[in-house]
Structure 1
Amino acid sequence: MFKRLLLLAAVIAGVVGSGQAVHAASVNFQVAPEIPKNQIDKRLEYYDLLVTPGTTQNLTFLIQNTDSGSHKFAVSVNRAGTSPDGNTSYSEHGVKPTSSLKVNIESLFPKPHTYTVDPHSTRRISLKLKAPKEAWSGILLGALNVQKVDQDASTNGTVGITSRPGYAIGIQLQATKTLPTYTPELQFNGAQVATNASGSNVSALLENPAPILQTGLHVSAQVLRNNKKVLSQEIAGIKLAPNAQMAFPLTKTTTSLKSGTYHLVVNAQNGEHKWHFEDNFTVVNPVMKSKTETKAKQAHDGPFPSWLVAVMIAIVSALGWYIWYLRSHRQD
């Protein structure tokens, strides 16, 4: 039974809850969930639970370390989000929730913790789930995230990205066995701009305010200046996590956008539902000196410019000579 669960959990991309993906990478360890009795769909290999409000239960899973040395694993329950490429993401913990989120799944579980697993052994770990006292609408969506944190971290020297092997096992909680039908909703939270010497990043902030996973969203956006297109992007098949915000990215520029006012236009569609948003934003590029340049100048000039110091020394020297000259002639 355990081997079967390990095989199922080690799938690189599995389907979870209406199309959300769970990604796993295995390096000398494996993770498998122990499915509880209140599982809604027994065929699924992730936690798809019908939870009674006000109750508590343990979610148990197994970490098998197949290596010859012990390893440490960081364990956390992460709320589902939407990555910039439009996929469901479970990689971050403690992300600021949207105003539409009523119940944060992360608050129902213990805080992130690190566990040690001995070589060639399996450790059973339980996390206590404390359900809200009142029933919630829709689904609470997240994942059990397990990452090896002591070794095997690989770094891409070209882009400076460090990756660690890990598993994400989906957690979907419902207070009712049958979910109501939700009409797709889309909320526009404005433009987000980040500008530096290497270029400019402009994102349209799009939020799914409904407690249900929205799939099949198509978004196209462009940035105009003086009615001329300077940035654009189009992504189809977006999955918006429940009550989550996506930073929809427009094409990054190789140089910073010039200072001025820009106009963002967003068009989105999901089936027969369409949305149109517009917003103006301003880019300001201040001319700033680096800290190195500032410190070098301060060290070189001191509290006064060097030329002023030289003039002051010359004046003092001349004044001293003149006083000496007057005194010597008076004595004569």
Structure 2
Amino acid sequence: MSLRKNILVMTTLVMMVLQLILILPVSASEFNFAVVPQKPGNQIDLKKGYFDLKMTPCQEQQLSVALTNSTNKAISIHPKIAMTTTNDSGVVDYSPSKKKADETLKYNIADIVTTEKKVIIEADSTYVLKLMVKMPKESFKGSITGGLSLQEDEPEKKVDTQTSGMAIDNRYAYVVGLSLREDLKPVKPELKLNKVGPAQRNFRNVITANLQNTEATYVNQLKVDAKIMRKNDTEVLYESKKDMMQMAPNTNFNYPIALGTGEKLKPGKYTLDISAASYKNKWHWKEDFTITDDEASALNAKDVTIEDNNIWLYIISGLVLLLIVLLIIWLIVVKKKRTEQRRMKMIKYGKHLTIVALLSVTAVATATVPVAAEETGTDYASNGAVEFVPNNDPVKPVDPIDPGKPVDPLTPGGPNPGTPGPLSIDFASSIEFGTNKISSVDEVYYANPQLYKEEGKATANYVQVTDNRGVSTGWDLKVKQEAQFENATAKYKTLKGSVITLNNGQAASNSEGVTAPTTVKSVSLNPGESVPVMSAADGAGDGTWVDVFGGLKKVEIVNEEGVKESVNKNTDVQLEVPGKTPKSAVEYRAQLTWTLSEVASN
């Protein structure tokens, strides 16, 4: 029998591709009460929308904030007093934070100002919230700062364990700034560089430099320029520049220097060269630091942008398998040769020996492909009119392309009334990224356009703010992703490293002769960090303003039937989903909080 018949080699390759479709449910939130601070006689500047008070040691004072509920149902609020912090984006946060008080902070405003723990505002009524201020006995220089955070209580949403997908819940908050001063003389800021070392930000490797403001004063218009080199070398490995940052009094934050997508931390000794400037104040430091083998290995293993490179493992495994097959073939050939020699010898002696050797070699290779769940966004509604006198009525949404024209955006459950009050968030688009096939590689998904009741009308996503106070004292709009997308019941509970980015924000209004608010051109959301979206300085931002995120473009997609089609997408509103992140076929949710503030400007 021939060798070909004696050897049976069977190779079976089985590939299983799971294509799960994720549809994003969305929900909208309302801001159902107006907030009007009642400024006392010791207000330093009556034009300021927040409490900026001239105080004395041991002084006790009651402050009032009028909360007006214009709906037909009662509203529950848990007012919170929080110290100011500076987050790792270089943004001052007046909302409650998990950050610890800086070691240089002498007085925490949460110990000085107290208020009611819970407030019920009855339907169609006004409630006057009381704040009690009790100043320290000792005098101080500079400012004690913080914020009164107001947000309507909402019932906890039940997680749908039967639905696959991802949802973003929009919520809205209002913050009134608090600043207490005894001496109005300006305090010179002083920055200090603390610890430098490797870390991670949203599951991406960075090197952080902790900057500390040791004085009781704001550091405004902060610029930072950081470079990292190998120790005793001049070649710049990593670099970061950022401006328009702000630090709160007596706070610190970790300034991040990114390594770059997919780049691993390498053990060794390094030098940080970093400069900072705020107006005429300048600082410069050089600091050596070390990245250990253990630190690099641990952080590299968690970085969602670093791909596991197992090519050499595959090559070695293949070579070993090939050697085994060749060895088997060689043994069979040798055995066949010996058998033939014996047969010839038997024939010579007149004897016959038949040897039948059957050998079956079966190799089965199975390959599994990790699947990457895919996600999408959220929605909310209202309408727009410019007022130049205080007005508590809700303002409806306006057309972002033609801001003088009211529109009716399509939102889940129908349009919601605008946030009441003379300073209000009127509308925030839902952010939906459509239906996409799961991918095991890094993907960037684009948002669906904002649609309207008017058939065929579509625009880019946007957010709308109205300032009808008539005092031109400015305002700030920030957004915070409270936590990463999560589902507590899933095997893989969080979508590690997913990032929402809002690009090319542009301010638009039908107001004439009014200075426009400033928009941030690119906003990447890191869970737990507030980032500015749009802000109006003193004398700016009166009337109704929209911040439009980019524009619409035709994008080719493959629909559920597997057919290619060209559809409108907002390519400036993006969702990045790492292929390396494991996902379960469940609904993941995240919450965006849009906060409108009357606080100290940068």
After TM superposition, the score normalised by the length of structure 2 is 0.39
Task: Please point out which of 40, 43, 62 is paired with 1:39.
Answer: 43
In structure 2, the CA distance between the partners of 1:34 and 1:260, relative to structure 1 (3 Å rule), is: same
In structure 2, the CA distance between the partners of 1:289 and 1:35, relative to structure 1 (3 Å rule), is: closer
Tell me, in whole angstroms, the C-alpha distance in 1 between the residues paired with 2:283 and 2:133. Answer: 38
Tell me the number of residue pairs that the alignment of Structure 1 and Structure 2 aligns. Answer: 261
1:214 equivalenced with 2:226 (yes/no): no
1:258 equivalenced with 2:265 (yes/no): yes
Tell me, in whole angstroms, the C-alpha distance in 1 between the residues paired with 2:193 and 2:116. Answer: 32
Conserved 8 A contact 2:196-2:287: no
Matches within 5 A, 1:39-188: 39-93=43-97, 95-110=99-114, 113-150=117-154, 163-176=170-183, 178-179=184-185, 181-188=186-193
Tell me, in whole angstroms, the C-alpha distance in 1 between the residues paired with 2:36 and 2:67. Answer: 7
Conserved 8 A contact 2:189-2:218: no
**Aligned counterpart, 1:280:** 289
The one-letter amino acid of 1:215's match is N
Q: Which has the higher strand share?
A: 1
**Aligned counterpart, 2:242:** 235
Tell me, in whole angstroms, the C-alpha distance in 1 between the residues paired with 2:86 and 2:35. Answer: 24
Conserved 8 A contact 2:96-2:149: no
Conserved 8 A contact 2:271-2:286: no
Tell me, in whole angstroms, the C-alpha distance in 1 between the residues paired with 2:212 and 2:201. Answer: 26
Partner of 1:164, secondary structure, is: strand
In structure 2, the CA distance between the partners of 1:195 and 1:171, relative to structure 1 (3 Å rule), is: closer
| CA drift at 1:219 | 0.4
Tell me, in whole angstroms, the C-alpha distance in 2 between the residues paired with 1:34 and 1:264. Answer: 48
Structure 2, unmatched stretches of 5+, are 1-28, 158-163, 303-602
Structure 1, unmatched stretches of 5+, are 1-24, 291-332
Tell me, in whole angstroms, the C-alpha distance in 2 between the residues paired with 1:48 and 1:289. Answer: 48
In structure 2, the CA distance between the partners of 1:263 and 1:103, relative to structure 1 (3 Å rule), is: same
Matches within 5 A, 1:16-31: 27-31=31-35
Conserved 8 A contact 2:147-2:177: yes
Conserved 8 A contact 2:115-2:130: no
Tell me, in whole angstroms, the C-alpha distance in 2 between the residues paired with 1:240 and 1:272. Answer: 14
The one-letter amino acid of 1:266's match is I
| CA drift at 1:277 | 3.3
In structure 2, the CA distance between the partners of 1:151 and 1:35, relative to structure 1 (3 Å rule), is: farther
Identical positions, percent: 25
Give the stretch that moved more between structures: 193-202 or 103-112.
Answer: 193-202
| CA drift at 1:225 | 4.5
Tell me, in whole angstroms, the C-alpha distance in 2 between the residues paired with 1:48 and 1:240. Answer: 18
**Aligned counterpart, 1:205:** 210
Tell me, in whole angstroms, the C-alpha distance in 2 between the residues paired with 1:100 and 1:144. Answer: 22
The one-letter amino acid of 1:73's match is I
After TM superposition, the score normalised by the length of structure 1 is 0.68
**Aligned counterpart, 2:445:** none
Partner of 2:283, secondary structure, is: strand
Structure of larger gyration radius: 2
Conserved 8 A contact 1:201-1:250: yes
In structure 2, the CA distance between the partners of 1:263 and 1:149, relative to structure 1 (3 Å rule), is: farther
Conserved 8 A contact 2:223-2:242: yes
Tell me, in whole angstroms, the C-alpha distance in 2 between the residues paired with 1:218 and 1:182. Answer: 19
| CA drift at 1:49 | 0.7
Tell me, in whole angstroms, the C-alpha distance in 1 between the residues paired with 2:259 and 2:83. Answer: 28
In structure 2, the CA distance between the partners of 1:224 and 1:66, relative to structure 1 (3 Å rule), is: farther
**Aligned counterpart, 1:191:** 196
Tell me, in whole angstroms, the C-alpha distance in 2 between the residues paired with 1:75 and 1:81. Answer: 18
In structure 2, the CA distance between the partners of 1:288 and 1:191, relative to structure 1 (3 Å rule), is: closer
| CA drift at 1:237 | 2.5
Conserved 8 A contact 2:141-2:187: no
Tell me, in whole angstroms, the C-alpha distance in 1 between the residues paired with 2:84 and 2:75. Answer: 27
**Aligned counterpart, 1:267:** 275
Tell me, in whole angstroms, the C-alpha distance in 2 between the residues paired with 1:83 and 1:213. Answer: 14
Measured against aligned partners, the alpha-carbon deviations of 1:275-319 in whole angstroms (never above 9, x if no partner) come to: 2232314233249999xxxxxxxxxxxxxxxxxxxxxxxxxxxxx
The one-letter amino acid of 1:284's match is A
| CA drift at 1:131 | 0.7
Tell me, in whole angstroms, the C-alpha distance in 2 between the residues paired with 1:82 and 1:286. Answer: 27
Conserved 8 A contact 2:205-2:258: no
Q: Which has the higher helix share?
A: 1
| CA drift at 1:162 | 5.3
| CA drift at 1:249 | 2.1
Tell me, in whole angstroms, the C-alpha distance in 2 between the residues paired with 1:94 and 1:200. Answer: 22
Tell me, in whole angstroms, the C-alpha distance in 1 between the residues paired with 2:259 and 2:74. Answer: 43
Give the stretch that moved more between structures: 108-117 or 119-128.
Answer: 108-117
Provide the aligned C-alpha RMSD in A: 3.3
Tell me, in whole angstroms, the C-alpha distance in 2 between the residues paired with 1:117 and 1:28. Answer: 10
Tell me, in whole angstroms, the C-alpha distance in 1 between the residues paired with 2:116 and 2:236. Answer: 45
Measured against aligned partners, the alpha-carbon deviations of 1:207-236 in whole angstroms (never above 9, x if no partner) come to: 111111121221011333475544322111
Tell me, in whole angstroms, the C-alpha distance in 2 between the residues paired with 1:186 and 1:82. Answer: 13
Conserved 8 A contact 2:85-2:93: yes
| CA drift at 1:72 | 2.0
